């Protein structure tokens, strides 16, 4: 069961990482502003790390478990405020988040077969804070020895 779950996590990391690297390369090629290029290079590095973690996890190495644990922790937070925004997902996500305005509400969002990366010094006018439940569950599974 452990090997099956590790392979599933690895497959999602490889697929999401590869899709993310391709998206970041496509975003980088028009050579826009320096700020946009730096954000894109950070995204490219993150997706590359997740891709490498997935390959190592599928290979069955202990380093792959360590790298995948960090890859899942990077995908855990969802922060969207007018001051700072950060979100990363590779392969799939199940986000539970709360809007931080009156009236406050709890919401669930999910998608499979996708990738996403947001890093900005600005964000939406309605703040949201949440976690990626799939990344949390994957991180807990990776802690099984």
The pLDDT value given to residue 90: 92
Beta carbons within 10 angstroms of residue 115's beta carbon: 24
Q: What's the domain range around 123?
A: 2-142
Contact 135, 72 (CB under 8 A): yes
Number of domains in the chain: 1
pLDDT tens per residue across span 27-46? 888 777 888 889 999 999 99
Beta carbons within 10 angstroms of residue 1's beta carbon: 7
**Residue linked to tokens 């994957």:** 138
Task: Give the mean pLDDT of the chain.
Answer: 91
Which alpha helices (DSSP H) does the chain contain, by range? 2-28, 34-59, 62-75, 133-142
pLDDT tens per residue across span 10-24? 999 999 999 999 999
Beta bridge partners of 86: 79, 119
């Amino acid at each position: 069961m452990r090997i099956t779950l590790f392979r599933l996590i690895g497959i999602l990391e490889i697929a999401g990482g590869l899709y993310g690297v391709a998206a970041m390369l496509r975003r980088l090629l028009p050579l826009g502003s320096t700020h946009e290029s730096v954000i894109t290079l950070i995204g490219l590095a993150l997706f590359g790390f997740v891709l490498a973690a997935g390959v190592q996890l599928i290979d069955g190495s202990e380093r792959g478990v360590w790298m995948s644990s960090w890859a899942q922790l990077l995908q855990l937070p969802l922060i969207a405020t007018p001051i700072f925004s950060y979100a990363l997902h590779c392969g799939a996500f199940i986000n539970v988040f709360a809007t931080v305005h009156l009236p406050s509400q709890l919401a669930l969002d999910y998608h499979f077969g996708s990738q996403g990366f947001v890093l900005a010094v600005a964000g939406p006018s309605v703040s949201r804070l949440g976690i990626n439940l799939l990344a949390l569950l994957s991180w807990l599974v990776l802690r099984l020895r």
